Amino acid sequence: MNANLIDTSKMSDRHEVAVVSDASALIQVIERAARDPSIDIDKMERLMQMHERLMANRAKVAYAAALARLQPQLPMLDERGEIKNNAGNVQSRYALWEDIVTAITPILAGEGFSLSFRTGNPEGKIRVTGILTHAEGHSEETTLDLPADTSGAKNAVQAVASSVSYGKRYTAGALLNLRSGEPDHDGREPEPRVSEHQTAELKALITEHGGNMGKLLAYFKVRSLDEILAKNYDYAVAEVKRLAAAREAAKAGKS
């Protein structure tokens, strides 16, 4: 509806309820009403409330759409953190907060999201609130209350810092449905990877031939040499030598 079609001097409650849902048109109505001395404060307030509700709904829709685009982009996170029992054996693993931030921050930014936190200390607990905010203005948050983490002979400051880090990991995980650990292999045992000795051999070979580590990792679609499958070790050695030979041939062709 065109804002010019609304006679603000005779605006009734019925007219206000039926005002256009388009934000730009509604702004025009508000501007006209603001210039009209016959419009009382109550009617102006109702118009402003309508506009606020409309903008809030628009922001919520944009948030939901961006989150739907974001979810498939979030990676499976490595679990480099370890929790050990009294015997010193690893009983569980978890993704470190610094790894989580590094992995998700550029992806969040690409969809207009920012992640922030509030901390508090209600009733002796450590409260961490994670807040996921979209550029359009809508935000969602979740809160976790924790005791101070005194495990491992931490001092008072370290105990608080550990709990805050834990709270950040888990509130971020709840807001974004983050996943960590090894990919699902449908109940099958994951294939063995290269040994420490083979990893060292590959590193030495790359150094010897002036190889490109990035190209080799990209070839096998892994993030580090020790993720290469054991069955592909011979192929990896051959690939390092092939890349070196191709580089030498290219140099010879230019000379």
Q: Look at residue 188 and tell me whether its pLDDT is greater than 70.
A: no
pLDDT in tens, 112-167: 999 999 999 988 899 999 999 999 999 999 999 999 888 777 898 998 999 999 99
Q: Across all residues in the chain, what is the average pLDDT? A: 80
Least confident of 69-73, 192-196, 217-221: 217-221
Beta strands in 61-125 (DSSP E): 76-77, 81-84, 90-94, 113-120
Q: Are 196 and 186 in contact (CB under 8 A)?
A: no
| pLDDT for the residue numbered 6 | 43
| pLDDT for the residue numbered 131 | 97
Among 169, 128, 172, 130, smallest CA distance to 147 is for: 128
pTM, to two decimals = 0.57
Instruction: Report the C-alpha gap between 199 and 236 in whole angstroms.
Output: 10
Q: Look at residue 18 and tell me whether its pLDDT is greater than 60.
A: no
List the beta bridge partners of residue 131.
Answer: 116, 141
Confirm or reject CATH 3.30.160 for domain 77-180, answering yes or no. Answer: yes
Domain ranges for the chain, please list them. Answer: 3-71, 77-180, 196-254
